[in-house]
Amino acid sequence: MCAIAGYCGDGNKACLEKMLQILKHRGPDDSGIFINGYVGLGSNRLSIIDLSARGHQPIFNEDNSICIVYNGEVYNFQALRKKLERKHKFRSHTDTEVILHAYEEWGIDCLKVLNGMFAFVIYDKNKDLLFGARDRLGEKPLKYFWDGKLFAFASEIKGLLPIVKKREIHSEAIDDYLTLQYIPSPKTGFKNIFKVPAGHYFIFKSGKLVVKRYWGLDYSQKLKLKEEEWEEIIFEKINESVASRTISDVPIGAFLSGGVDSSTIVAFLSQDINSKLKTFSIGFEDPRFDESKCALQIAKQYHTEHSLLKVGLKEMEGVFTHLADYYDEPFADNSSIPTIILSRFARKDVKVALSGDGGDENFGGYERYSVVRFSESYKRVLKMARGLVKSISGIGAKLHKSQLLDRMNIFALSFDDPFYKKYVYYNCFFKHNDKRALYSREFLSRICKNDTFNIFRNFYNRKLSDLDNALSIDIQSYLPEDLLYKMDTSSMSASLEVRAPFLNHELFELTAKMPDKLKVRLFEKKYIFKKMLGKKQILLPGILNRRKQGFVAPIEQWMRGDLGNFVIDQTTSKKNKQMNIFDSSKIEIYLSDYLAGKHNENNNIFALFSLCSWINKYF
């Protein structure tokens, strides 16, 4: 694992050194730079495989005509190396050098054979080009600056800022953020700074930049297998994925929340390592958010060396007040706070940790997928009867407060909208009219034609089921731009590498062929996955059947309590008023009404706080 950075154009060694220094937390073990005329490449290394000096980056091919800087892990590097050794000479035992020679051998098609998480940039002197790529699901980030003259790249936006002469806000990105809680690719919040989307590569040559997709999922080819066959196939694939992610020259542990996904990873991992597995979890003083008892139950079942950290306001406050130091684009997923604390906690004992990310997107684990399956039945309801269904769902949502009923009601009210719009709508933070009611007139004029929902039109395939479309949308946007951005930023801030076996692209390609009814059956989510876990006695019924809780923080208690004044100061700062995104008087009323208990839009308040903290930090 590493931080990478570089440029092509008006840069220099001093600037590149500053870029790398800012990213030192991602790779504290080693640093290297290569300059060739107007091209510069640099790397900070977190040593995981081949800890010797031979793993120093940038790494070159045999005649020094091609070099690479790389962040990530390629899990099939040993098998690839055996093929490449017939024609290429290796100087190290790293997966970095395998990617380099794979490019020499197969060019851009090298991406087809890599299995892992990665972001790399290769400089090919003979062809005078930069070739960069990001892994299929988006575990590892790759950002770039391009203004038509200067091209630069880095693992984080912070690493680009020394080379950016003028910082400007991207207004449409801010509008998108308030709807989604994250900024969708390729935008970032800064003008001229972009994200390479997951499953894409770029080529920069002769002053021209081309970005192309190289991978995507096909949900149209379903396999007709018996349930027992599916159980065995997914068991074997998960087992294979976990085993491949144990390759390391440093200690490995695992995050353990007590949920189905992380518990499954711990169950498989405990069988694959020789020493006693170290597991890590955090618990909250507020029992409504605490899952530590379930984590302890799994730790006892699999005899792990379990470490638990109980946290309260004091521990959270230090992260809450410095979120913009870690997240360099607006980001409002409040689970980022406990994820940072958990990463720091685990890093005291291990350098690599496995997580359960990707289980919900593979097998259909979110509550909203039950709503989507409900929609399939709702489509068959006669138009005359839909009014009755809308009324019943609305009454139900008012009488019995639950996320499921609320979402069903939102869905029913937006039924006639295209699916992609309807789906994003009932997952959004700020509703369209609510956010625009807070904007200043000047900002409204800047974003008047922006429609966040249209971003997802390109993800929609009318030939697929609603559930497949929902999974496709989440895998292309929510997964890489929210969940994986959160995990990478949080873990790497502590110099911790996190590997996620469920994010094996081969597993995703397999589950894309799985019929809907094996993922969500009526309102039972992860049907075949849980059935397999239960039949093989991998997890006990108490864990399998407990309600999904999610890794969230008690932000309402903080923002309405001791941190309330800090939220107000950040949100109403002089710098934010000068940006003129919001009408100052309307924002002040919105905040005061929240603190007075007149509305309970906790997530919206946190989104405003995160945005304004980001502005205060970077502008």
Q: So which residues are the catalytic ones?
A: 2
Check whether the bond before 186 is cis (ω within 30° of 0): yes
Tell me, letter by letter, the H, E, C secondary structure of 335-404. Answer: CHHHHHHHHHHHHCCCCEEECCCCHHHHHCCCHHHHHHHHHHHHCCCCHHHHHHHHHHHHHHHHHCCCHH
Q: How far is 297 from 248, CA to CA, in rounded Å?
A: 28
Tokens of 409: 């009601």
> How many CB atoms are closer than 10 A to CB 123?
25
Is 151 strand, coil or helix?
strand
Is 323 strand, coil or helix?
helix
- Phi first, then psi, for residue 350 (nearest 5°) are -135, 165
Which residues fall within 8 angstroms of residue 364, CB to CB, at 6 or more apart?
Answer: 467, 471, 516, 519, 520, 525, 526, 527
Q: How far is 220 from 161, CA to CA, in rounded Å?
A: 43
SS3 content of the chain, % helix, strand, coil (to 5): 50, 15, 35
Q: How far is 309 from 281, CA to CA, in rounded Å?
A: 7
Separation of first and last alpha carbons in the chain: 30
Q: How far is 244 from 130, CA to CA, in rounded Å?
A: 30
Chain Cα centroid distance, residue 346: 19
Would you say the C-alpha torsion 264, 267, 268, 269 has a positive or negative sign? positive
What are the angstrom distances between the C-alpha of 410 and each of 171, 506, 524, 607?
Answer: 28, 35, 20, 21
Tokens of 343: 């990463």
CA dihedral 478, 548, 273, 297 (to 10 degrees): 160
- Phi first, then psi, for residue 3 (nearest 5°) are -105, 140
- Phi first, then psi, for residue 358 (nearest 5°) are 100, -15
Which residues fall within 8 angstroms of residue 439, CB to CB, at 6 or more apart?
Answer: 447, 581, 582, 583
Tokens of 608: 């405003």
